[in-house]
Amino acid sequence: MDRSRAQGKWAFEANPVLIITDASVINVAMPRVTPPDRREAILAAAREEFAARGFAAARMGDIARRVGISRPALYLQFDSKEAIFAALVGGLIADVIPDEPPGLDKTQSAAALLRMFIAAAFVRFTRSDFAFVPRIIAGEGQNFPELARYYHDEAIVRVLDRVEAVLRMGVARGEFACADAHHAARSVIGGIFLSAMWRAVFEPVGGEPIDLDAMARAHADLVFNGLLSRKEPTP
Amino acid sequence: MDRSRAQGKWAFEANPVLIITDASVINVAMPRVTPPDRREAILAAAREEFAARGFAAARMGDIARRVGISRPALYLQFDSKEAIFAALVGGLIADVIPDEPPGLDKTQSAAALLRMFIAAAFVRFTRSDFAFVPRIIAGEGQNFPELARYYHDEAIVRVLDRVEAVLRMGVARGEFACADAHHAARSVIGGIFLSAMWRAVFEPVGGEPIDLDAMARAHADLVFNGLLSRKEPTP
Amino acid sequence: MDRSRAQGKWAFEANPVLIITDASVINVAMPRVTPPDRREAILAAAREEFAARGFAAARMGDIARRVGISRPALYLQFDSKEAIFAALVGGLIADVIPDEPPGLDKTQSAAALLRMFIAAAFVRFTRSDFAFVPRIIAGEGQNFPELARYYHDEAIVRVLDRVEAVLRMGVARGEFACADAHHAARSVIGGIFLSAMWRAVFEPVGGEPIDLDAMARAHADLVFNGLLSRKEPTP
Amino acid sequence: MDRSRAQGKWAFEANPVLIITDASVINVAMPRVTPPDRREAILAAAREEFAARGFAAARMGDIARRVGISRPALYLQFDSKEAIFAALVGGLIADVIPDEPPGLDKTQSAAALLRMFIAAAFVRFTRSDFAFVPRIIAGEGQNFPELARYYHDEAIVRVLDRVEAVLRMGVARGEFACADAHHAARSVIGGIFLSAMWRAVFEPVGGEPIDLDAMARAHADLVFNGLLSRKEPTP
DNA sequence: AATGAATGAGGTTTCATTCAT
DNA sequence: AATGAATGAAACCTCATTCAT
């Protein structure tokens, strides 16, 4: 699936080249050095195109043009359009959802941990270079079951698990009263997910803009206090 | 965009018809009634295909085959693939999001109203024949800005407005304490939206199944009470 | 090729018709009487369409709509698009190029006869309802060899023969000096043909308009006198 | 409309090429030179097809097959069927009607100039590879107004203007007596135009063949002397 | 390594014509 | 006689991918 490993190093030096025909020297060229980040350049271009048109409607030619290379050159780095897409999404997920944290920081309150998580998640999931991922997974995931599955496993479930863990910790400590931490975690993520989708889907087509800060605050507020009036103060 | 109007209506009953001149009966015709649901049949088939593959990857030939007609016959009812898609999505939205309700039922508590709303919304938005709509809007909305806009206006915003109205009513009555009803409404919808997407996107690719009833209950619980432990009872 | 003969007379009287379902009379209709000139109506409509778009690009549906009937109704009168075209062109040719004249009017001078002929031909060949014929024969004649051949035989050659006969008569009488009457006849027709084409082809696309009267006069003048200055008067 | 410019030029000779870096020869390449006449080959094939069937009825597949390439390869050189047609016709016109002549050769008599012009025009306009152009312009010009206009401007009018100039020169010198040079020029061209059409339209369908030499002579004779007998000798 | 050229497979759409009423 | 519906055949065109240099 990934040809870059099998193809050795980036061989050319940036040295002059003489092109000679049978008659005479006709050119002195400085070959464009293939940089090690050619793959990155492709992925960046692919992100733009996939974000703008979706997987099916994106065209390899546009990606290549954006990179400034020829279409076949794409295939030197990736096996197929699908491979580019998979690498791109995989990378973004790995980027946005960092590997297992060292466990919960027990010195902090569950509420504090959750509040931090929500704030961070709002920022990460709505990053403009990532927001298209859930969108495209949603729209074309059926055509890439493994990829959708990967996103599910590595992005969604992992995040949900972490939230659930915090919730359970809070319950254990008496901070939280939550009968169903498993599903409550989905409620917590729901507000974030909706916001990310909003930004990626509706804003570009002229929907009303969303104020992410206000949304993050309101969401946290609801998550902690609920709607019902109460006497006691909130932390 | 919609050829059905231009092609006569299906006023005829499928009953025998006598055509009588001044002299005598000259014909007994049973007009071949193209069923009024030919369009419906196409839309149903289209739903399957679009749900299964997305807009771009769906093929007119597959839709036709599913209906049991020829490809060109599709064009007797619709002008284009896009027209089918628009009719389908528009119809589903109109179906799932009914027209303006008669206004809030002031005899009930805001909490009761919201609880009912959440329960109903969970059912409607996760209906298996509708759930693909947000998914596909998400994935290919950029390519159909008017449609995405329509979905935004007619489905999302309308629902959000209704929730927000209930929230404000509750606040006015002292039932709810909610500093930012606008964004809180988005939190409320968030859990529902995530559930619908889950069902439509992740379950088909083998993600862990979601228990909608439990989810609805947990979401309502969180929305009303929040996570924090408290002494008072909840409604 | 022509179905009209085989299908008897135009049967319906223009009498009221009762349309009765099993339950009750639902309509009183006055059936559109099929007039004996249905074929004419089709041909007239076809002329418009063929003139406007050429044979290949003309659409049966447009012809039918212009007549105010359904597409299949066309096939009650003609076997095919090609049959309509052939009937149309054949009719027009027969119309514009009348059957053999009673022979040359020997009481008139050849010059007078030719002058009359040129004047008449300019009028006939540039008639707006006929001018499209040479145009379309030229453009799509290869696809209808018999038709092109028919046009050649019945329109062009016949006219040429008549001109040639006048020329020979003039030569015999000493009126004309013409070494090659056969080809001279083509020269005579050339100016007329060019004018007809001009009107049919270039004027519609914004070419400079042609003044047919002036052109007819100038052409006759050239044909009789030639360009060279001379002393003698001209007839 | 024309992709050839955008795709690099064919500067390379089909000779071996040595590519040399600072260190050593690294390649001996014989670049697959797509011959500069790939476009020409397509145009030639297109000419055959368009000539044989007209624009609308010609098929891209047939053109491709005639060239010996795949259908999509056509689109590497041209954007569309229409683009091929336009390039073909434009090229032929440019080919047959050369750019501005250096002006009239005042050392010759107007009669001599015109005689030469007629002789040359007969040859050029009836060239077998060009004759289909007027034919197809006539037949399908309405569908390509710009092209018809172009033909009108660049071919017809330009030629007419040149003839008219000669005529006026002859009149000014007393060689010609011509009251209406503008329309007389059309008469002159008429005979040539008819001959070209004859060859392109009627001969292929079995019409009587035309003897172009005799026709050219007879036409010139008529143009100079007219039909009327006269005493004086002609030049 | 890089690319211009080439193509197979497939897509949507159009239209003359026939069928069944 | 007339027509709404239906369709087979074909057209143009696009694009991911491979070939040969």
DSSP D128-164: TTTTHHHHHHHHHGGG-HHHHHHIIIIIIIHHHHHHH
Helix then strand then coil, in percent of chain A rounded to 5, is 65, 5, 30
pLDDT of residue B101: 64
pLDDT of residue A184: 97
Nearest chain D residue (CA) to C133: D139
pLDDT of residue D196: 93
Strand partners, C2: C78
- The Cα–Cα gap between D120 and D122 comes to 5
Q: Which chains touch C (3 or more CB pairs under 8 A)?
A: B, D
pLDDT of residue D24: 36
D177 band by pLDDT with thresholds 50, 70 and 90: very high
Using a CB-CB cut-off of 8 Å, the residues of chain D touching C187 are: 190-191, 218-219, 222-223
Whether residue A228 and residue B190 make contact (CB cut-off 8 A), yes or no, is no
Q: Which of A27-41, C2-16, C57-71 has the highest mean pLDDT?
A: C57-71
Chains C and A touch (3+ CB pairs under 8 A): no
The H or E element containing residue A84 is helix A81-96
pTM, entire model = 0.79
pLDDT beyond 80 at B152: yes
Mean pLDDT of chain B, nearest integer: 81
Q: Give me Rg for the CA atoms of chain B.
A: 24
Hey, what domains does chain C have and what are their CATH numbers?
5-78 (1.10.10.60), 93-225 (1.10.357.10)
**Residue B214 burial class via C-beta count within 10 angstroms: exposed 0-12, middle 13-18, buried 19 and up:** middle
CB contact C234 to D (< 8 Å): yes
CB contact A139 to B (< 8 Å): yes
Nucleotide nearest to D27 (CA to C1'): F21
Q: What percent of chain B has pLDDT over 90?
A: 45
Q: Could you say which nucleotides of strand F lie within 7 A of any protein CB atom?
A: 1-21
Chains A and B touch (3+ CB pairs under 8 A): yes
Q: Do the Cβ atoms of A194 and B195 come closer than 8 Å?
A: no
The 10s digit of each residue's pLDDT in D149-173 is: 888 988 889 899 999 999 999 999 9
- The Cα–Cα gap between D110 and D190 comes to 19
Alpha-carbon distance B214 to nearest alpha carbon in chain A (angstroms)? 7
Which residue has 């003609």 as its token pair? Answer: C78
Mean pLDDT of chain D, nearest integer: 81
CB contact D91 to C (< 8 Å): no
Whether residue D19 and residue A16 make contact (CB cut-off 8 A), yes or no, is no
pLDDT beyond 90 at C118: yes
Whether residue A17 and residue D16 make contact (CB cut-off 8 A), yes or no, is no
CB contact B193 to A (< 8 Å): yes
Using a CB-CB cut-off of 8 Å, the residues of chain A touching B217 are: 180, 183
The residue type found at B203 is E
**CB-CB: which of D52, D57, D190 is closest to C56?**
D57
Using a CB-CB cut-off of 8 Å, the residues of chain A touching B211 are: 183
Q: Mutate which of D7, D12, D20, D32 to disrupt the A interface (most A C-beta within 10 Å)?
A: D20
pLDDT beyond 70 at C40: yes
Mean pLDDT of the region B216-234: 83
CB contact C33 to B (< 8 Å): no
Q: Give me Rg for the CA atoms of chain D.
A: 24
Mean pLDDT of the region C62-83: 93
Nucleotide nearest to A74 (CA to C1'): E2
pLDDT of residue D144: 83
Whether residue A190 and residue B186 make contact (CB cut-off 8 A), yes or no, is no
pLDDT beyond 70 at B232: no
**Cα-based torsion angle of the residue sequence B73, B75, B78, B80 in order, rounded to the nearest 10 degrees:** 140
Q: Give me Rg for the CA atoms of chain C.
A: 24
Q: Which stretches within chain B are classed as H helix?
A: 38-53, 60-67, 71-77, 81-96, 110-125, 132-140, 145-150, 158-173, 181-197, 212-225
The 10s digit of each residue's pLDDT in B75-118 is: 989 988 988 998 998 888 888 887 766 677 788 999 999 999 99
